[in-house]
Structure 1
Amino acid sequence: MLVCCKLHISESRNKAALESIEAASKIMHGVRMINKFEDETYNRVGYTLVFQLPPNSFSDVCPLKDAAFAMVKSALEAIDLNTHSGTHPRLGVVDHICFHPLTDTSLEQTAKLARSLAADIGTKLGVPTFLFGAAHDKGRTLDSIRRELGYFRPNADGHTWFGGPNSQYLPLRPDEGPSHVDPSKGVVVIGSTRWVGYYNVPIFTTNISAVRKIATLISERGGGLPSVQAVALAHGEGAFEIACNLLEPDKAGGDQVQIEVERLAQEEGMVIGKGYFTDLSLDKIINTFLESRDSSIDH
C-alpha cells in the first residue's frame, strides 16, 4: 500500500530555503523523496514523496503527512511571498499539494490524509487552506478554486506573477484556517486525486495570443483532448510553454499532447521543441521507491 504526495513550492532560486525544506522531509522514517523538479524561470520546485502504509491502515496518523507538514512549515518560515516573482502563477508559498494512491491504496485513504494535513496547516500554521478532489465533500476541482482566486491572471507587468493573491480578503471561503490572507504566505490548496501527469511543450515565439489559442484548443475545456488542462506561460526570452495537467494519462498522454501542439503550431507557422514531463512516470516512481526501500533493508 503505497501513497504519493506531491508538493509544489513557489521558490527555486533561494537555495538555503530549499535545503531547509528538504531537510524537513527527512525527519520521518520511511518517507522517501523520489523526485525533485526545479524551474528557475517559473521560480518553482516540485517534490514527490512516497511512503508505504501499514496493511489495513485507515488512520490519518501517517509519517508522510507529518513530513509534508514539516516541509510546509519550513517553507513558510524561509520564503516571503512579498519578494517572490516568476512566470508561473501561484496562490501561496506552498501553492499546491496533492496525495495520490499507488498500488493497493484507496482514494479515500489519501483523501483522509489530505483533510488531516489541511486541518493542521489551517489551525497550527494559520494559513487559509482549500480542499479539492476526493478530499472535498463535493469533489471540487483544483482549477475551479484557482479560477475563483484569480490564479490565471498575471498580477504584474508582462507575463509575470508577483507575490500571491491581490486581496487580503478571499472571495472563496477556505475549508480550514482564517478567511484573511497573510501576503507573505498566501494560501495552500490540498487535495487527493488519481494520478496526474504534468507535461510541458516549448514554443519559440513572442506571439502570446497564438500560444494562448493553442492552449485553449488543446484543453478539454476548449474542445480539445479529453482530461487535459493547458495554460500558456512565458518561459525565457522569446519562448513560451504549453503547460499541461494530464488528469487521466491513459486517455490522453504526453505523446498525444505533443502531436496536437505540433499540428496547431505548424498552422501558426511557429517552431516548437520536444515536450517533457516534470515528474517520473507512475511506474518509475513505484519502482524507484521499492528499490530504495529494499536497498535500505539490505544495509
Structure 2
Amino acid sequence: MLPPQAYNISFFQPPAFLLTGIPGHKAAHGWISIPFSSIYTVALTGNCLILLAIRRTPSLHQPMYYFLSMLAFTDVGLTLSTLPTTLGVFWFDHQFIGFNSCLAQMFFLHTFSVVESSVLLAMSFDRFLAISNPLRYAAILTNNVIIRIGLAIVTRATVSLFPVPVLLKRLNFCPDQTLLSHSFCFHPDVMRRACDDITINILYGLYVVLSTGGIDSLLIVLSYTLILHTVLGLASPRERVRALNTCVSHILAVLVFYIPAIGVSIIYRFEKHLPSIVHALVAYVYLVVPPVLNPIIYSVKSKPIREAMLRQLRRKGARCIK
C-alpha cells in the first residue's frame, strides 16, 4: 500500500466506491441474480409472516415469541441492508455507491448483525428461565422487561457501531483503490482501501467484535451449560427430552449465525492467501443465509409458529380469491 505522500493530493476521499458481484463471474450475473432474488424473497416473506403471525395470534403473545419477533425484525433489516446494492449489481450492473451512502449501508449492516447476536443471547436467557424457573418465568419476563431488553439491545448496537463510520471519515483513501470486494459495503473491505495507518480502525473493529459477538457467544454457551445441568436434574427422561426440544430451534439459529460469523473473521485474517471469490461467498453466507434459514427453522420445529403462519397464508389466499 502506497503512503499518502506518493500522491499529489494531501487528502482524498472517493466520491463513490465500485461494488463487485461474484469476482470473475460478471458475465454470469444475470443467472446468479435468480438464486439471490429467490433467497431475498424467501427471507422477507418468511420473516414478515412470522411478525404477522405473532402479532395476530393472542396465544403467541409470550416472551419466547416476542424475542422471536425481534429476531425476525432484525433479519428483515439485515436483508434490506444488502438487497438494493446486491440486486442492483446483478440485475443492472450498477456498481457505483456514494461514499456517504457506503458508510451508511455499512453502519446499518453491522448494527443489525450486532442486534441479531444480542437477540440470540436474550433468547438463550429466555430458554434458561423457562426451564430452570418455570413458575416465575412469566413474572420475571414481563412486557416491560422485554421492552427494556429490546431498547438495551438497540442502544448497545448503535453506540458500538457509531464510531466506525466516523473513524473511516478521517482516513485518506487511495484514488486507485475504490473497487470493493462485495456488492455491499463491509467494514474490513472498506477500511483496507485507505492509504493511512488503519491501526485504530482495526483495533476498534476487533473491540466491537469481542465486546458484542464474543461476549454474547460465551454467555450463550454458559446459558446452555446451565440449561443442560438443570435438564439432567429432571427425574423423568420424557421431561428431559421435552425441555431440550424447546431449545432445538434456538440452537440451530445460533449455529446458523455464528458459524458464518467465525468464518468471516478467519477469512479476513488470511485474506492474502485466499482468492477473492472465497471472501465474497463467505460474506454472502454470513449476511444472507441466516435471514433465510431462521423462518424455515422455526416454522419446521415450532408447531404454534407453523400453524399461525399457515393461518396467515390462508387468510391472504382467501382475500386474493375474493
- For CA contacts below 8 A with separation 6 or more, give which structure has more relative contact order: 2
TM-score, L = length of structure 2: 0.28
Q: What is the TM-score with the length of structure 1 in the denominator?
A: 0.30
- Higher share in strand: 1
Structure number, greater radius of gyration: 2
Higher helix share: 2
